[in-house]
Amino acid sequence: MRYKNLFFLFLPIGLFLTLKIFSGRQSFLINVQGRAELLSANVSKGELINFSLKPLEKFRILAVLGKVEALESDVIIPLKRLSYKKFTTYTNSKGHFNLDLKPGIYTFFVIKENNAYLNSFDGRGFYKSYKIFQKMDNIIITVISNSYF
């Protein structure tokens, strides 16, 4: 009889804690912010370089869970080659983007047509990735396809 009473005493506590854990899963999402920009650099006469930097407005940003292998240091990768764990958002008029992601390692791309673009590499054969385990606001994707050096 005593064990039966203890069981009924702890049952509501166990159910409450289980419900609290499952309802609190949203709190495990981490806010990630960054910006996408277009860098134009042209070498003019006399070896002077003219730089201009402008935000990429209303561009689609792709976050891929995990590291992404770069084939031959190519800045463009077909979307179909990327993993199934993808998250997208859009940049605003100032080129800023915002995502809420679960903790992990992510690679961020700019999407153009059916391809993803990223011109940053880690030196080990992969595109540059970020470890997301706390709030981040410093992710920068720079597109340099219009630059001539």
SS3 per residue for 45-60: HHHCEEEEEEECCCCE
Q: Does residue 88 form part of some domain?
A: yes
Q: So what's the pLDDT on residue 148? A: 44
Hey, what amino acid is at 144? Answer: I
Residue 41: CATH number of its domain:
2.60.40.10
Please write the tens of the pLDDT for every residue from 55-94.
999 999 999 999 999 988 789 999 988 978 999 999 999 9
Q: Does residue 7 form part of some domain?
A: no
Which of 49, 52, 62, 124 is CA-nearest to residue 89? 62
Q: Tokens standing for 13?
A: 């506590």
Residue 45 has pLDDT above 90, yes or no: no
Q: Does residue 136 form part of some domain?
A: yes
Look up the pTM and report it. Answer: 0.76
Q: Does residue 139 form part of some domain?
A: yes
What is the spatial distance between Cα 27 and Cα 106, in angstroms, rounded to a whole number?
19
The residue behind tokens 């992601």 is 101
Task: For residues 103-130, give the mean pLDDT.
Answer: 93
Cα torsion through 133, 118, 115, 89, rounded to 10: 40
Q: So what's the pLDDT on residue 4? A: 65
Q: Does residue 45 form part of some domain?
A: yes
Bridge partners (DSSP) listed for residue 40: 52
Helix (H) or strand (E) holding 87: strand 86-90
